[in-house]
Homo-oligomer: A and B are copies of this chain.
Amino acid sequence: VFLARNGKTDPVSAPRSARDRVRQELTREILEVARAQLARDGAAALSLRSIARELEMSPSALYRYFSSRDDLLSALILEAYGSLADCAEEAAAAARRLGGVGAWPAVSRAVRAWAIAHPHEWALVFGSPVPGYEAPEATVIPYARIAAALVGPLAAGGPEGQLNTTAAGLLRPDTLAAAVQPVAEALLPGLPTAVVARALGGWAALIGIISLEVFGHWRNTVLDPGSLFDQVMADQARALGLSGEAG
């Protein structure tokens, strides 16, 4: 997918020559400018020519670093995924250290804060797909990291082992189990299907409430999105049995 960034050497290995060092630095600079443009104007407006202009080099020079516009965009998308995943994992780790209130509210708030700080990147990750462009396969990994940061604590049975495992109201249990099998296996092994479904519901609510806010759908409707967010996420956590109070 990417043009080899370091000639024939391992892309992560230390640069051997001065030339390699300069190349790495310029690559970083290009990505930085591109990221800034993406944050300012969105993915659709990302243009190699304008990046070249900002870097005061010719447009064709960029082709030494990225083989096409799509290639550059892929790099940016991966960065966005990675940045969001880092952010979610940090929040999860902090919540683990502090104990108490649990990871769900902490991680969800961190994700929301990231989205508000990076609306165009959020759109790139969870918004409408860019037509004619296919996201790189490698996004699977950071995507899973985000979900795991949010939902991982469930695997431990919740803060005080009070996870809600009741399966009351399960429509078509077998079909549902098959439907969510990959998630159950990868993220929540050993937990009942009902929990997996509730976790996915919470995931959908998280993505939905953030998207509604970031994409401007609360205008004149929800005056304080933060309060509503906290409440809705607390409700979700309670449904899962993750709240501090008795479920």
Contacts and interface: CB of A to CB of B under 8 A. Distances in A.
Interface in A85-144: 123, 126-129, 131, 140, 143
Question: Of residues A226, A230, A243, which shows the largest number of chain B Cβ atoms within 10 Å of its Cβ?
Answer: A230
A183 B221 contact: yes
Contacts of A204: 205, 208-209, 212, 232
Q: How many copies does the complex hold?
A: 2
Nearest to A213: B204
A5 interface: no
Contacts of A228: 176, 179-180, 197, 200
Contacts of A245: 168-169
Top 6 closest pairs, chain A to chain B, by CB: A208-B208, A127-B128, A179-B224, A123-B128, A204-B209, A204-B208
Given A168-B245, A180-B222, 18 more contacts: A123-B127, A129-B215, A143-B217, A169-B245, A179-B228, A198-B235, A200-B222, A200-B232, A201-B209, A201-B232, A203-B208, A204-B205, A204-B209, A204-B232, A205-B208, A207-B211, A207-B212, A211-B211
On chain A, which size bracket covers the interface? 35 or more
A211 B178 contact: no
Interface of A: 41-42, 44-45, 123, 126-129, 131, 140, 143, 168-172, 175-176, 178-183, 197-198, 200-201, 203-209, 211-212, 215-217, 220-228, 230-232, 234-236, 238-239, 243, 245
B215 A126 contact: yes
